[in-house]
Structure 1
Amino acid sequence: MNNYDTSDTYISRYLVPNQLPAPQTIKSIQLYRKGSITNPPIIELESPEKLILAFDELSDLTGQFRVTFTHHDQEWNESNIPQDWYLEGRNELILGSGNKNELSQPDYIHYNLEFPSGQLQFKTSGNFMLHVSDLSSGIRLFSLPFFVTENAGTMVSEVETNYNAGQRFNAVDRPFSLYKYPDFVEFPQFDLSFYFVQNRFWGDTRRSENYDFSEEGKAQYHLSSENAFAANYDFIRLDLTNFSIDGRDIIDWFPGKNPPEIILKEDVLNFSSDPLEIRGTTFGNPKTSEQARYASVRFRFQDGGQYTEDPGVYLVGDFNQWILSDQNKLNYNEESGYWETTSLIKQGTYTYKYAVKDSTAGIDDLILSDTITRQDQEYISFVYFDDPDYSYQRLLYVQVFNSR
């Protein structure tokens, strides 16, 4: 079964409703548009664009996996439409024949899949989810969201930053978009809906409550001040390209252990973020070489005595799907004065943060951040069309833009 208890509700800005997080045996997941690992998982309908799925399984034996797809509305409810409306071909891709690593423990097999393909094509636009299952047992292991857009119409977008407007008097961003919709949209005020997402955290996508259709053929929409995104959302960069003491990120390295162990420099409350950091991916950039290694990486966080075990401090990052769970909770070391935890991570570059649970059992990943400095944020604007002739949401347009 999945290593996570699937009855739980996982706290993550990345996970969307009905998404299954990866088990602990699956590492270094990637899903991006072919061409660059920094591309979002968005392709254009009826185009030659491809998506790349890649991941490692911690095992010394090559396995086989079954990849299937479901279509969803803009709220990630599964669409109530026949499969042959959104897929051409059999809804199944078999993934096997992975590449085994060549150096050190733990053993892992790297898998790579390109789609759509001659076996399977997408026939409609919208929100999609891919599901990876173990072929022999049929157990579903994890799922990932992606998007197929029609690129119908045109769009321009910008961001308005309001200073001292957040709950902690931080700056907030209000994205604005102007969409020129195609002629087949007859009743835009009823059939169009608009959404924004920040930094590819699909689970925190926000619907625009403010829109204006007064100009013929155009729709203007934006977020309210109450629903705005934090403009100071920051990240800590982690460079694990080389497993060696570098005096910058890695202060100690034990290659003789199994797995090898790395100790990072301590992170200090509000002083560890990297200004102007644009991540460009929710998965980081793990190495794909068969000689790339994994290590048990020890994180140490100094909070100045502000937090206790309840609610506790959590590590969230590219390497754990930004999930706030007990597996990622830090323990307080009274001797060192640090909150500490370890995570098994592959060579590469990543970003991460520290978070706490808020009063509603949600995630507060800004309380331990720089509350003053405005950071450059990535935004994506989505336009959905409730097609009156069919019972599903078409994704008409997607635009990626930055706050600066």
Structure 2
Amino acid sequence: MNKTFFNFLTLFLFSISSFSQVAYELNPPDFIKTVTFKSNTTQGQLPVLKLGEPLMLEFDALTGNEEDFYYVIEHFNYDWTPSNLVKSEYLKGLDNQRILDYENSFNTYQIYSHYNLRIPNQQTHGFLKSGNYMISIYDDYDELMFSRKFMVYEDIANVGVSVKRSRDVKVIAEKQSVDLVITTNGTNLNNPLETIKTVIIQNNNLNTAITGLKPQYTLGNELIYRYDTESAFWGGNEYLYFENKDVRAANVGVQYIELGDLYHNYLYTNINRKDRPYTYNPDINGNFLVTIIDRDNPDIEADYVMVHFSLLQDELKTKDIHVYGNFNYFTIEPLTQMIYNPESNRYEITMLLKQGFYNYKYVTVDRETGELDEGAISGNFWETENNYKVLVYYKDLGARYDRLIGFGEATSENITN
């Protein structure tokens, strides 16, 4: 084979494979904290925006140097492979712009700068297409700091979501099943078995989302999903929580405080709940909220606190234990891993967190397989109140991208058999 042609073919195949790679989020370095998406009603949750609604991303940089950050936005298919759209087709205006809106912390022990990005703005005027998006934040040296996924939907299809007890008797006490009914508002969807894709998300955690389900029945303009096992999630347990909106006094979940270079909050020691009866304990489904008392602006007046977690638990020989929640984007990494203390028979970890109200739980990771078990410490109960979001994508025959045509949401608070 001609050497020049071989090199060209190799480069072409490499380009094809690189282009079709699935996109993953990059978590921020340790000096960037409290990455949150905001809307008029929520903070920190997985952002699912209606086409035309603004996107608001905020984060803190703890260096105190007023660094410059830039944002880049990309469009993806439902499976997070890059779409075939060019930027001018899905984005009105320009990206790769510097984030201009930032403020320095005021009257806090921990110095930081709070960055606030809102789209639309003067350079980026908004999104033109529905679907999956990724926003990436770069520093002055063009190094990627972190990236986050978000979704933009069109209100074309109604998505009915109901939560049932599992239909599998083996796990009926531990799992919840999600049923769907998708109704099109007069729009003709061609060959829905192939063109419709769904994603079911529990408690805003994309890591455990269920994808790829096809409608089982078609009744008029309704697509019906009533799977026995394929749409079932482990019920989990209600999240543990603490609140430290006043760092000078012990609050909900905080046993005592100390002041060094920063305030230290020592949480009450938690216990293994797997083999204990389920107890209803209202939570915010793994989310968090930055909040303070006796001050006006939590964005720049909330301080950072060293939060000490502890779990009364015999040492596990084959598994690691991590602290898990939306505040760390359900990440498993060295910064979330607890260390076993043989003197106290406790697993312990200290995290630097901004003042607020936090949900968290303890999960295990198998050292050999890397398998995550959310119920190993908390247990799994069918009664647990969970939030479920459903995204419906449509890619018509010959279309170049997946449209996000419907969004539905439900909780298991009124779960039925």
Using structure 1 for the length normalisation, give the TM-score. Answer: 0.87
Match of 1:29 among 11, 35, 43: 35
Q: Which residue of 2 aligns with 1:391?
A: 400
Q: Residue in 1 aligned with 2:356?
A: 348
Please report how far the alpha carbon of residue 373 of structure 1 lies from its aligned counterpart in structure 2 after TM superposition.
6.0
Identify which of 340, 351, 361 aligns with 2:370: 361
Matched, 1:100 2:104: yes
| Deviation readout 1:4-31 (Å, 9 max, x if unpaired) | xxxxxxxxxxxx9511111111111111
Unpaired runs of at least 5, structure 2? 1-21, 293-297
Q: Out of 252, 257, 267, which is 1:253 matched to?
A: 257
What corresponds to 2:25 in structure 1? Answer: 19
The reply to whether residue 375 of structure 1 matches residue 375 of structure 2 is no
Change (3 A) 1:272 1:213: closer
1:197 alignment partner, one of 184, 194, 201: 201
For 1:209, the aligned partner's letter is L
| Correspondence for 1:52 | 56
Q: Which amino acid aligns with 1:361?
A: G
Note the alpha carbon deviations across 1:264-318, whole angstroms, 9 max, x for none.
Answer: 1101111799735342664543552422111111111101x2523x422111223
Q: CA deviation at 1:60?
A: 1.5
Moved more, 101-110 or 220-229: 220-229
SS at match of 1:290: helix
Q: CA deviation at 1:44?
A: 1.6
Q: 2:135 aligns with which of 127, 130, 136?
A: 130
Structure 2 residue matching 1:322: 3-state secondary structure: coil
Take 1:253 and 1:95, find their aligned partners in 2: how far apart are those partners? 36
Q: Tell me, yes or no, if the aligned pair for 1:29 and 1:283 is still in contact at 8 Å.
A: no
* Partners of 1:289 and 1:233 in 2: CA distance: 31
Structure 1 stretches lacking a partner, 5+ long: 1-15
1:267-278 matches, cutoff 5 A = 267-270=270-273, 275-278=280-283
Aligned twin of 2:177: 174
Q: Sort the Cα spacing of 1:266 and 1:180 in 2 relative to 1 into closer, same or farther, 3 A.
A: same
Contact 1:209 1:224 (8 Å CA) reproduced: no
The alignment partner of 1:323 has SS state of: coil
1:145 pairs with 132, 145, 149, which one? 149
Query: Which amino acid is the alignment partner of residue 242 of structure 1?
Result: D
Q: Distance in 1 between matches of 2:231 and 2:344?
A: 40
Query: Could you tell which deviates more after superposition, 148-157 or 242-251?
Result: 242-251
Q: How far has the Cα of 1:230 moved from its partner?
A: 1.4
Aligned position for 2:117? 113
Percent identity between matched residues is: 21
Q: Under a length normalisation based on structure 2, what TM-score does the superposition of the two structures give?
A: 0.84
SS at structure 2 position matched to 1:209 = coil
Alignment map for 1:279-358 (pairs within 5 Å): 279=284, 282-286=287-291, 288-303=298-313, 305=314, 307-308=316-317, 310-358=318-366
Q: What SS is found at the alignment partner of 1:214?
A: strand
Superposed CA RMSD in Å reads 2.5
Whole-angstrom CA distance in 1 between matches of 2:251 and 2:122: 50
Whose radius of gyration is greater, 1 or 2? 2
